[in-house]
Amino acid sequence: MMATNIGTQLKTIRIQKNLSQADVAKQLNISRQTLSKWELDKSLPDLDSLKQLSIIYNLSIDYLLELQKEKIKLLPIYTEEHLTESLIAKICNNKEPLQEQIHFISNEICLPLLHSRSSADIIWFATQKLVIYQGGTA
């Protein structure tokens, strides 16, 4: 599912980077008119051009295409049970978990994650809790 209006995204980023169409076109070895067509959504850059744009703008291709937003929309909605089962399987390498592991994962990771508000918080929190658990301080 590709984000719409990639041209608007490309133009906004170019302007934020204080670059002219001529500057970017020269770096890409294309005409200014070609870049203009991309920014007006009259055509799309090819993959090589997207890679070069990501380097020029110092941004990921996912960011240029706004794919991060699309990926977040496609993430499954986990219930506490699904999240707990997934984490237990991952942490225990699909081996039979100990009751202590189940209790820790459920109460110290899953419940707080389900009440968290941002994916960055979830990732940080899960990483910190897992490090603590693996270190044996939990």
Contact 84, 110 (CB under 8 A): yes
Side chain identity, residue 45: P
* Alpha-carbon gap, residue 114 to 79, rounded angstroms: 8
Report pLDDT for 34.
95
Average pLDDT over residues 72-98: 69
DSSP assignment of 102-133 equals HHHIIIIIIHHHHT---HHHHHHHHHHHHHHH
Is the pLDDT assigned to residue 58 strictly greater than 70? yes
Is the pLDDT assigned to residue 30 strictly greater than 90? yes
Report pLDDT for 83.
64
Instruction: Report DSSP state, residue 55.
Output: H
State which H helix or E strand residue 135 sits in: helix 119-135
